[in-house]
Structure 1
Amino acid sequence: MNHLLLTSIQNERVKQWASLLDKKYRDRTGLFIIEGVHLVLEAFKSSAAVRCVVYNGERGIPHELEQLAREGGTEWVQATTQVMAKCTGTDTPPPVFAVLEKLKRDDKALFRDNSLVVVLDGVRDPGNVGTIIRSADAVGVDAVVLGKGSVDLYNPKTVRSTMGSLFHLPIIEADLAELLPEAQKKGIKLVGTSLQATHTCYSYDWTASTWLLMGNESEGLSEAVRQMADESVIIPMQGESESLNVAMATTVLLYESLRQRKYG
């Protein structure tokens, strides 16, 4: 396998890949970067549109990916450690990264019978959004919706923290002002969280079609979205802690819905 070797960070392709660290260029080109062996394997497994795979020429192709490299159909490129660092924005660059087309998402999953969907309203921390996507994947949620004001799904930190779950379920970017009323017309219950709620998350019935609305880390749900919620629940707390992080709170609520739906 004689793969092209890129050694200069001034190379045109290297500059293009490095620009994908910036949302503006991801939006313009419709491309994004994934890093590390696990994510590259997940991308191929899910038949995502992989444009090219770039590996550290000094270390060679990671053995888990050798078979994929032999199969052909995708361009493989060698690069120096310096080029790898430039394109991933990390001090210790991964052994491999890939350039992908943004994922095609079908919003039909939102309106399945008995759907369970997580809706994020202004959740800005990439680690939180990635963790919520992992939890949603683990519970078997139908889809995750990123409302305006939430972090970009294709932000490298978000992508890393999904640990590959972004390839496993539909993640849809949408305007909640349009989408939530549409869900209500279809009889879907919109459930938020509130410290003033009368239901705990354990006394609420999660078995019907439900969209769980989770808000910004410090502000909670925006006023407009809060007004649209049909119901709110509270996670009971026995100790001294004032609140749970949004990703942890979402996980607790999703697992209660799973318990009721599958283990009730």
Structure 2
Amino acid sequence: MKNMITSVQNQKVKYWKKLQKRKGRIKAGMFLIEGYHLIEEAKRSNWDIHEIIIKEDQQVPDWCMDFTIEKVNKTVFHHIAQTESPQGIIAVVKMNQTECYPGNYMLLIDAVQDPGNLGTMIRTADAAGFDAIILGEGTVDVYNDKVIRSTQGSLFHIPVLQRNLLETISILKKEGFRIWASALSGAEPYNQIEVEDKVALIIGNEGAGIQDTLLHEADSIVNIPIYGRAESLNASIAAGILMYYIRG
């Protein structure tokens, strides 16, 4: 193992710090994850772990020995950690450049901006057996630390791509997909719609919903009946209900 890094002015520390921002992540093609569970999930799913950062008072787990390890003091560690109670371990991971999305069930996300909502949708899509997630323009960065934590490791189990949604819908239609869009008005109850063999579900922005240009491309516009006095459901809850219905 190399000498311990003790200064926040160290060039490696400055590089890690840049990975906290979307611009820095895109430039490097890398992102940070914190905690034993997420790092073990990334390793188990064969993502490319570039290096592991360990706080000075932490024991280095045996499974970390396959990777480059950087030991840092407490000051440096807390300088780059993004959680309130860090576990003392961070990994630098290479972004996964998935190009294809085989399968019959897709989740298309239009400008969802809350990191917790996006992370929960990814986790639920993984649990429901969806095959891929397509993020449209205006959606929060999937490599945002709050998104990653909300996925609870599901980010490493299911392909997540960033694409133009109009172009994606056109491609999916040619491949025989039925396009479902979730909306409050002009919609039919979701449980009255027959589920075809291939379905792509669009979920829209928390406040504005799905863009009209995308709604016009939908084969079915669906809603979830509200039986109480709430105006609407949280976007990630609605996505979960619809995904499980589609998977039947």
Same fold (TM over 0.5): yes
Q: Report the 3-state secondary structure (helix = DSSP H, G, I; strand = E; otherwise coil) of the residue aligned with 1:119.
A: strand
Distance (Å, rounded) in 1 between the aligned partners of 2:184 and 2:68: 53
1:190 aligns with 2:179: yes
| Alignment partner, residue 199 of structure 1 | 188
The amino acid of 1:199's aligned partner reads E
1:23 corresponds to: 22
Which AA in structure 2 matches 1:231? Answer: S
Matched, 1:178 2:167: yes
CA distance in 2, matches of 1:146, 1:94: 30
- Residue number in structure 1 paired with 2:120: 131
Matched residue SS, 2:192? coil
| Counterpart residue number, 2:144 | 155
CA contact (8 A) 1:21 1:88 kept: no
Runs of 4+ in 1 over 6 A off after TM superposition: none
Q: 2:68 aligns with which of 52, 56, 75?
A: 75
Whether 2:248 is the aligned partner of 1:255: answer no
- The residue type paired with residue 17 of structure 1 is W
Structure 2, unpaired ranges of 5+: none
Q: What's the CA shift string for 1:135-189, capped at 9, x where partnerless?
A: 0000110100001110111111111111110110111110112111111222211
Relative to structure 1, is the Cα distance of residues 19 and 198 closer, same or farther in structure 2, using a 3 angstrom cutoff? closer
C-alpha spacing 1:49/1:84, structure 2 compared with 1 (3 Å): same
Shift of 1:55: 1.2
CA contact (8 A) 1:85 1:91 kept: no
- For 1:170 and 1:105, how far apart are their aligned partners in 2? 7
1:39 is aligned to 38
Aligned residues: 248
> Which whole-Å deviations, capped at 9, do the CAs of 1:175-225 have from their partners, x for residues lacking one?
112111111222211111222345311111224211000000100001211
The correspondence of residues 35-114 of structure 1 with structure 2, limited to 5 A, is 35-61=34-60, 66-70=61-65, 72=66, 74-109=67-102, 112=103
Deviation string, structure 1 residues 12-37 (Cα, Å, up to 9, x no partner): 10110011011111111101001110
Choose the corresponding residue for 2:197, options 191, 208, 215.
208
SS in structure 1 opposite 2:52?
A: strand
Alpha-carbon distance in structure 2 between the residues aligned to 1:57 and 1:168: 31
Which residue of the partner structure matches residue 262 of structure 1? none
Tell me which amino acid in the other structure corresponds to 1:67. Answer: D
Alignment match, 2:221: 232
TM-score normalised by structure 1 residue count = 0.90
Offset at 1:59?
Answer: 2.8
Distance 1:177 1:257 in 2: 22
Amino acid at match of 1:30: G
In the alignment, structure 1 segments of 5+ residues that lack a partner are 260-264
Stretch moving more, 75-84 or 135-144: 75-84
Three-state SS of the structure 1 residue aligned to 2:101 is helix
Within 1, Cα distance between the matches of 2:187 and 2:91?
48
What is the alpha-carbon root mean square deviation over aligned residues?
1.4
Counterparts of 1:90 and 1:196, CA distance in 2: 39
Shift of residue 82, structure 1, vs aligned partner = 1.8
